[in-house]
Structure 1
Amino acid sequence: MTAPVQKVVAAVAALEVTNPIVLIDGPSGSGKSTLADALLAAWPTAAAPRLVRLDDLYPGWGGLAVGSHAVAAELVGPLRESGVGRWREWNWAAGHPGEWHEVHGDRPLVVEGCGALSQASARHADLRIWLGADDAVRKRRALARDRGAFDAHWEMWDAQFTEFVRTQHPLALADLILDGTRAPSPVS
């Protein structure tokens, strides 16, 4: 288990809630998906967490802000307040919204993706994680991961994320700030 994963597992184990909400944010290519997968594999309690990836709900390449808003308004806010949240998948191939998915508070929840940790979502989370990485490393990872599909959208996506960071200040909201530069494999 890598040091960042050990830190996150220890932080989850220290939480005094049964079914915590964990948010993992950071720029594209920083290692969020890999960290989330490793966290699920090493989850310190018997209740297996549910994982929601923002890549599954952004409404297209220009949808970072909409996806971030949906996490707070439709998923973690209602989940915390009523015990049931939901998210709507995006059909990337068809370019339109897909099915709704309900999430119940009977299990832990991990949400990972660019825009997961906003001012609105942070107050509903039990653990807020920021994962950064060297800009050149993360760009290389992200473009290699998507085998050309991301290349034409990199600048637009990165500009959206820069604006998100400027307005939402996710680093200031984070309980843990980690460096994913040395992650062993291509990550998101």
Structure 2
Amino acid sequence: MSVIADLLAERPPRAGAVKVLAVEGRSGAGKSTVADAVAAELQAPVVRMDHLYPGWDGLASGVDALVRWVLEPLAAGRPARWRRYDWAAERYAEAHRVPGCDVLVVEGVGTGARQVTPYVSALVWVELDGPERRRRALARDGDTYAPHWDRWARHEDEFYAEHEVRSRADLVIGGQA
């Protein structure tokens, strides 16, 4: 993941004093794996969109939460706090604080949204073909995700048509593990 660390090193912070790395791509592409590897290399915290979406129809609301709870406060030099969505209870649960950091990794569908862009120092798109993405996602989340795969894919289609994330990425990488 040094290529991503090198890319980020060349970029200025855009969320106050914090460099934000957005790791984007469709469900099952390998975003979490990439984000975890880069975060470990850079000793950076990770905020995951899966913790911010308020349910299966909450992609846009999750993006708004990322901006409002995390990125705007960082840009203003204030502490950032976010609330984890409890998928089973269908409501937001406990709050989490983003630790003080020079680099923050944000990972998930929506981190490349146009309203996130002003805060992002580098945007990485993780690419993988559809059948393999589905296989991975269902192997990871099984029966929890299976009934919602098509529903979520429609939200992704709409989001990517509007935000054209892949074409705006600073780096496109394969999602092979």
TM-score, normalisation: structure 2: 0.89
Aligned 8 A contact 1:50 1:107 in 2: no
- Counterpart of 1:175 in structure 2: which amino acid? D
Match of 1:9 in 2: 5
Distance 1:40 1:104, change over 3 A: closer
Name the aligned partner's letter for residue 34 of structure 1.
T
**1:32 match:** 31
Q: Which runs of 5+ in 1 are unaligned?
A: none
What's the Cα RMSD here?
A: 1.7
Q: Is the 8 A contact 1:78 1:85 kept in 2?
A: yes
Q: Which residue of 2 aligns with 1:110?
A: 105
Identity %, equivalent residues: 36
Paired amino acid for 1:94: A
Larger mean Cα displacement after TM superposition, 8-17 or 28-37: 8-17
Paired residue for 1:135? Answer: 130
Of residues 135, 153, 157, the one that matches 2:152 is: 157
Q: Distance in 1 between matches of 2:114 and 2:123?
A: 11
Q: Among residues 75, 80, 84, which one is paired with 2:75 in the alignment?
A: 80
**Contact 1:79–1:104, Cα closer than 8 Å, also in 2:** no
Q: Distance in 1 between matches of 2:116 and 2:58?
A: 17
Is the counterpart of residue 123 in structure 1 residue 107 in structure 2? no
Number of residue pairs matched by the alignment = 174
Q: What is the CA–CA distance in structure 1 between the aligned matches of 2:32 and 2:18, rounded to whole Å?
A: 20
SS at 1:120 equivalent: coil
Tell me the distance in 1 between the aligned counterparts of 2:54 and 2:158.
Answer: 17
Which position in structure 1 is the counterpart of 2:50? 55
Equivalent of 1:169, from 140, 145, 164? Answer: 164
Deviation at 1:82, TM superposition (A): 2.9
**What secondary structure sits across from 1:71 in the alignment?**
helix
Instruction: Please tell me whether the aligned partners of residues 52 and 112 of structure 1 are also in contact (alpha carbons under 8 angstroms).
Output: yes
- Distance of aligned partners of 1:8 and 1:106 in 2 relative to their CA distance in 1, 3 Å threshold: closer
Write out the 4+ residue segments of structure 1 that deviate beyond 6 Å after TM superposition: none
SS of corresponding position for 2:143: coil
Q: TM-score, normalised by structure 1?
A: 0.85
- CA separation in 1, counterparts of 2:96 and 2:40? 22
Cα displacement (A) at 1:87: 1.7
Q: Is the 8 A contact 1:83 1:105 kept in 2?
A: no
Letter in 2 for 1:179: G
Q: Deviations over 1:142-187 (max 9, x none)?
A: 111112211000000000011110111212332112221xx23xxx
